[in-house]
Structure 1
Amino acid sequence: MSETSTMSKDATIVVVGAGFAGLSAASSLLHAGFQNVKVLEANARVGGRVCTTKPFKENVIELGANWIHGQQKNPVFQLAKKHNLLAEKSLLDRDKSSRDYFFKDGGKHLSEDLADPVTSLFEKLLTKANEDELGRKYRDMSRGDYLDVAFAKSRLAGSEDGSRIFEWCKRNECSNEAASSLFEVAASQLSEYSDLGGEFYNPLGSRGYQAILDILLKGVPSEIILTNKPVKRIQWDLNKKSQGAESREMSHPVKIICENDETFEADHVIVTVSLGVLKRQAGAMFEPGLPKCKMDAIETLGFGTVDKIFLRFSKRFWPEDCAGIQLVWDEGPEDKAIYDSQNEGDGWKKTWFKKICGFDTVARHPTVLCGWITGREALHMETLQDSDVRDTCVKLLRSFTGWSVPEVSQVLISRWGHDPRVFGSYSYIPKRVNGVRRQKALGAALPDLEESEPLQVLFAGEATHVNFYATTHGAYLSGIREAQRLINHYIK
């Protein structure tokens, strides 16, 4: 704190967005001694793509971020562990003793002896996909094509049911990539994404992600967070423009204009809106316009939709050791032939429900299942009535399991793809896209340090993090990165 100059304390900084990136940026700046910091949030609530709710009585449901991914050197995991926010040991032990039930349409239950070797092979192939040597070999292939080629060489490919389970694995992986299909994702990530050591899916305790959000909010006074302030335009380099027109200095080089025309002047603005928002609005949001390299990054990086369908039943109908009911189709959407045949036209809309991987149990909710759906099928699902989605899901559960499935008492559906403050869920690397180069361009500050008034517009958010994109810790660290960029600028 003492290292920062007096000038840094007087610098006016506006952070656009109160998600993990925006809050970590604001907290870091305040801790370093900056005194004029404001956070503009478009929604009435803070948290961004972290959205913890309580629709089914007392226990929480995560409409957005669900887990902490990885443990070693993960600041979000460390924060949760420090404050005892992780799931109780009893819940973790229960998860280890449960298993997925795989069913084919028509009620055929597929045994663990068949499912386990296929899912294990799939995980091994994914690990190899990120190795440098393989990345060079399959650089121009999609991940779906690479997986099909690799699986065809295994002894499991001779089993028809094994091939169908492998299709389910690819469909399930789409939720990790937020993609419409693995045939649209890079075979190797062509990036430097890092899986942190330790357990990958770390569940949170009874207060969910809201508990971590509350910890972050303790570092940011509530009076500097202004909600219901959607930004429509960011004008920058105003001093240069003013000198050319009227030969006078503006008090600040940046002006942020909200949708209600309320304005905020700043020396620096940290933009943490989603890549989905940038794809829709970047062309009109910035004045002057963004440089070509940044616009190219916005256009070429992928940003997909992952939705959840929560079904609360009148009573539990699945076995105690069932962690999820997984749906295996004879002709699933991740079959190459099916994908190719549906690449043009709207025929896939008639079978949108085939993109649902299955229905997983939900911690602390003994009568609730959660269905996962991604990509264009998720976007189409979002346009349907809740009752239509509910009825379709019940039909699937009955036809696949043959069990006596009771009526649904409540349904809750996320609709991230049509949320005008997000337009999707998280980023991915499409095939033939150099992830590192595009992500670095997306995260570059404007103007750069060679200019007379540098670092006017800075960018944070999960899509800007080369190592940890698509994660909450990636978003969190990107906010700290941009705050530190400003801190270093004023220390010099």
Structure 2
Amino acid sequence: MASGGDGAEASGGRRVLVVGGGIAGLGAAQRLCSHPAAQHLRVLEATACAGGRIRSERRFGGVVEVGAHWIHGPSQGNPVFQLAAEYGLLGEKELSKENQLVETGGHVGLPSVCCTSSGARVSLELVAEMASLFYGLIDQTREFLHATETPVPSVGEYLKKEISQQVTGWTENEETRKLKLAILNTFFHVECCLSGTHSMDLVALAPFGEYTVLPGLDCTFSGGYQELTNCIMASLPKDVMIFNMPVKTIHWNGSFREGTFPGEAFPVLVECEDGSRLPAHHVIVTVPLGFLKEQQNTFFDPPLPAEKAEAIRKIGFGTNNKIFLEFEEPFWEPDCQLIQVVWEDTSPLQDTAPSMQDAWFKKLIGFLVLPPFGYVCVLSALREAGPFIRSVCLRKQHVGLTASHF
């Protein structure tokens, strides 16, 4: 939200407010610090800490990522990678040219182990065959980016249509055919995690190809993702961040006068929950989409233009979930990195909608093996987007998990 006034020079520069202290707000503040406006820059964060969905916690004797986990596509075109490299937060392997040049196509790597929900091992060759089929179809969906019309509206419908045709050519016995469909169903759930949705039927086919896949093998921060936000915070002037300052309403497109700045009119006035009224020439809003969906009617005064309000209403998103499981000793092999789960008797071609209360766990796609924390072994269960869970930490004795479940 921008200014049309000219009184900035009289008071020593333009006053800029950033609403939201997540990675977008911190990035904006860092960029503005090299601008003359930095003298009057403030970041208003509603909570007691910065970082938004980047949140590293010390649990189980080590660091676990409650929020963001990976740098996807760690290469020179990725600003997060560039910052992490600049701050010395990555190791030699992650910084190597070889790692940066690997083309993954945005596809998740194959698991170390794959098991059915009854505990039987699944052939990794069969998993690789289904992965090749699924990701080949995913690559095809990107070809409709500039198409004048598409055969079906959504990515999910396209995938199911193509898989249905493939099934007719399968010559295996019924048991193997059902297992192959269950494996494909798992890959559907994986793709839902990547796209942040609970169904690929909600992802439009035509614009799906807009997603840019950067080269590089996904990597993590050994000391936690929050190291990145800590470094950005340390680069900002000490008085820039204002915590525990939720914003109530942004009054814009006006001419506001405040006693602190006599004789000057400001085009924007930010009203906070505690009654504070902060005038500004410019305001950068970086709050989450979910917050905008819920609060936009009262958050902006006057309301946003109709086209912007409609865009906020139409854009969708989901919540990816994690469950951390602690074990006294591992039941997996030392080199195991990912345990994939295939839920038996499931198929992407069946539009079944079991009660989330009874079957939420069937959205689990697998278990990431975290680096060992001393004498503690931890799995991070990944669950596709949905409303039921955000992040939960469980101990083995509370959930009764044993090796036979995987």
TM-score interval, normalised by the smaller of the two chains: 0.7 to 0.9
Asked whether the equivalents of residues 97 and 321 of structure 1 are also in contact (C-alpha less than 8 Å), the reply is no
**Residues 1:303 and 2:310 aligned together:** no
Relative to structure 1, the CA distance from residue 216 to residue 189 in structure 2 (aligned partners, 3 Å threshold; closer, same or farther) is: same
Alignment TM-score, normalising by the size of structure 2 = 0.83
| Cα gap change, 1:156 to 1:24, in 2 (>3 Å) | farther
Distance 1:45 1:361 in 2: 28
The within-5 A match list for 1:398-417 is: 398=403, 400-401=405-406
Deviation for aligned residue 1:155: 6.7
84-93 or 61-70, which moves further after superposition? 84-93
Q: How does 1:167-178 map to 2 (within 5 A)?
A: 167-178=185-196
For structure 2, list consecutive stretches of 5 or more residues without a partner in the other structure: 1-7, 99-107, 171-176
Cα distance, 1:260 vs. partner? 1.6
Q: Which residue of 1 aligns with 2:104?
A: none
Task: Give ranges in structure 1 of 5+ residues lacking alignment.
Answer: 243-247, 402-492
Other-structure match for 2:283: 269
Matches within 5 A, 1:189-204: 189-190=207-208, 192-199=210-217, 201-204=218-221
- Matched residue of 1:69: which SS? coil
Match of 2:105 in 1: none
Residue 385 of structure 2 corresponds to 375
Cα distance in structure 2, aligned partners of 1:223 and 1:53: 25
Q: Which residue of 2 aligns with 1:233?
A: 249
Checking the alignment, whether the CA contact within 8 Å between 2:329 and 2:377 is kept in structure 1 is yes
Match of 1:166 among 184, 191, 194: 184
Deviations along 1:349-370, one digit per CA (max 9) or x if unpaired, are 2111101111111134461000
CA apart distance, 1:289: 0.6
Query: Any conservation in 1 of the 2:190–2:384 contact (CA below 8 Å)?
Result: no
Report the alpha carbon displacement of residue 270 of structure 1 after superposing the two structures with TM.
0.5
Cα distance in 2 between the residues matched to 1:76 and 1:156: 45
1:46 aligns with 2:45: no
- Whether the 8 Å CA contact 1:72–1:198 is kept in 2: the answer is no
* 8 A Cα contact 1:98 1:322, kept in partner: no
| Number of residue-to-residue matches in the alignment | 375
Residues 98 and 321, structure 1, Cα contact 8 Å, conserved in 2: no
**Cα distance change on mapping 1:387 and 1:74 into 2, 3 Å:** closer
Give the fraction of aligned pairs with identical amino acids, expressed as a percent: 33
Query: In the TM superposition, what are the counterparts of 1:171-320 in structure 2 within 5 Å?
Result: 171-190=189-208, 192-199=210-217, 201-204=218-221, 206-239=222-255, 251-320=265-334
Contact 2:53 2:68 in 1 (8 A): yes
* CA offset digits 1:154-211 (Å, max 9, x no partner): 3797332111101000011111111111122223435622112233x2222x212122
Q: Which amino acid aligns with 1:352?
A: W
Give the C-alpha shift of residue 15 in structure 1: 0.4
The RMSD of aligned alpha carbons is: 3.2
Q: Retained in 1: the 8 A contact 2:196–2:385?
A: yes
Which amino acid counterpart does residue 222 of structure 1 have in structure 2? Answer: K
Note closer, same or farther for the CA distance 1:249–1:153 as it changes in structure 2 (3 Å cut).
farther
Return the alpha-carbon distance in structure 2 between the equivalents of residues 387 and 9 of structure 1: 54
CA contact (8 A) 1:232 1:258 kept: yes
Work out whether residues 249 and 300 of structure 2, in 8 Å CA contact, stay in contact via their aligned partners in 1: yes
Say whether residues 1:73 and 2:77 are aligned partners: yes
**TM-score, normalised to structure 1's length?**
0.69
8 Å CA contact retained: 1:129, 1:135: no
- 1:120/1:88 Cα in 2 relative to 1: closer, same or farther (>3 Å)? farther
Contact 2:322–2:382 under 8 Å retained in 1: yes
More helix by share: 1
Q: Is residue 197–residue 317 contact of structure 2 (8 Å, CA) maintained in 1?
A: yes
Give, in angstroms, the shift of residue 348 of structure 1: 3.3
Deviation at 1:87, TM superposition (A): 4.5
